[in-house]
Amino acid sequence: MLKFFARYKTFAIVFFILSVIIVLCIYSLLKPEERLPIYQPDMVNAELVDSSMQYVRKYHKIADFNLVNQNGDTITEDFYKDKIYIADFFFTTCLTICPIMTDHMIKIQKEIKNDEDVYLLSHTVFPVADSVPVLKKYALEKGVIDEKWNLVTGEKKEIYDLARKSYLATKSTGDGGPYDMIHTENFVLVDKNRQIRGFYDGTDPEAIESLMHDLKILKEEYHQ
C-alpha cells in the first residue's frame, strides 16, 4: 500500500496544485467586478440638495464654474478636464471640523502628489472673509501644493449653488436667506466625466481609507 502511494505521490501533488489554480481562476471569473455608483440627486439626503434638484434621477454632472484660487488664478471646470478630483467645502477660520478635514486633505495630497490623474478642490463657504491673500496664507501654513490643490473663492451665490445643486454636499441653514448654508464634512469624489462617484466623512480616518480604496477602483475603470 505504501508503495502505491509513493508511486503516485508526485501525481497527487501536481493534481492538487492544478486544482487550486483552476478553483482560483473560476472564482476570479465569477467574482463580480467592483464598480462605484454614479450618484444622482434623488439618491442623496434631501437636506444636502437644493429643492430644484431633489428629484433628478439621471444625467447629473458638476456644473461649469468660474472661481479664483489662492494664487489669484482663475479656476474653471477646464482645469479638471479629464481628471479625477476630490472636492470639499470649508472656511479658514473654522475651528470645529475644518482643521480635521484639512489634515485629511493633506494626507490625501501626500498620496496623490505624483498622480497626474487626481487633484483636489476646496471651496470656501465664507468668501466675504476668505479673500485670495487669506487663502494663500492658509495654503502656505498647511503645505498646500499649488499644482495639486486649489483653494477657491468667488461669488457667494455661485459657490452655494455649486454646493447644493452640483456637489449635493451642504445643508441650508433655512434662516439666513437663499444662499446661507452650513458646510458639512463631506468629501466628494468626482470622475473624469464630472459625475459624483462617492461621498465620504472628511473627519473620519476610516472614511478616508474608503475614499482611497474607491479612488483605486475608479482609476482602474479608466484602464480597462
pLDDT tens-place string over residues 136-153: 999 999 999 999 999 999
Provide the sign of the torsion angle of the four alpha carbons 159, 164, 61, 51, taken in this order. negative
DSSP state at residue 148: T
Q: Considering the domain boundaries, does residue 164 fall inside one?
A: yes
Please tell me whether 104 is known to bind a ligand: no
Q: Are residues 55 and 26 in the same domain?
A: no
Query: Helix and strand tally (H, E) in the chain?
Result: 6, 9
Q: Are residues 9 and 50 in the same domain?
A: no
Q: Which domain holds residue 3?
A: 1-31
Q: Are residues 130 and 56 in the same domain?
A: yes
User: Mean pLDDT score of the chain, rounded to an integer?
Assistant: 89
Q: Are residues 27 and 48 in the same domain?
A: no
SS3 call for 151: strand
Q: Are residues 17 and 59 in the same domain?
A: no
Q: Are residues 78 and 139 in the same domain?
A: yes
| Number of structural domains the chain divides into | 2
Whether the Cβ atoms of residue 199 and residue 167 lie closer than 8 Å to each other = no
Q: Are residues 62 and 22 in the same domain?
A: no
Binning pLDDT at 50, 70 and 90, where does residue 2 land?
very low
Is the per-residue pLDDT at 194 higher than 60?
yes
SS3 call for 64: coil
pLDDT one-digit tens code per residue, 56-73: 999 999 999 999 999 999
Please tell me whether 98 is known to bind a ligand: yes
SS3 call for 39: coil
Is the per-residue pLDDT at 43 higher than 50?
yes
Considering the entire predicted model, what is its pTM?
0.84
Q: Considering the domain boundaries, does residue 92 fall inside one?
A: yes
Please tell me whether 25 is known to bind a ligand: no
Q: Are residues 80 and 175 in the same domain?
A: yes
With a CB cutoff of 8 Å and minimum separation 6, the contacts of 69 are: 75, 132, 135, 146, 150, 151, 152
Binning pLDDT at 50, 70 and 90, where does residue 94 land?
very high
Q: Are residues 86 and 127 in the same domain?
A: yes
Whether the Cβ atoms of residue 77 and residue 64 lie closer than 8 Å to each other = yes
* Bridge partners, residue 121, by sequence: 87, 150
Alpha-carbon torsion angle 202, 205, 209, 215, nearest 10: 20
Radius of gyration from C-alpha coordinates of the chain: 23
Percent of the chain with pLDDT over 70: 82
Q: Are residues 104 and 156 in the same domain?
A: yes
The residue-averaged pLDDT of 12-29 equals 54
Q: Considering the domain boundaries, does residue 209 fall inside one?
A: yes
Q: How far, in Å, CA of 144 to CA of 112, rounded?
A: 12
Q: Are residues 3 and 55 in the same domain?
A: no
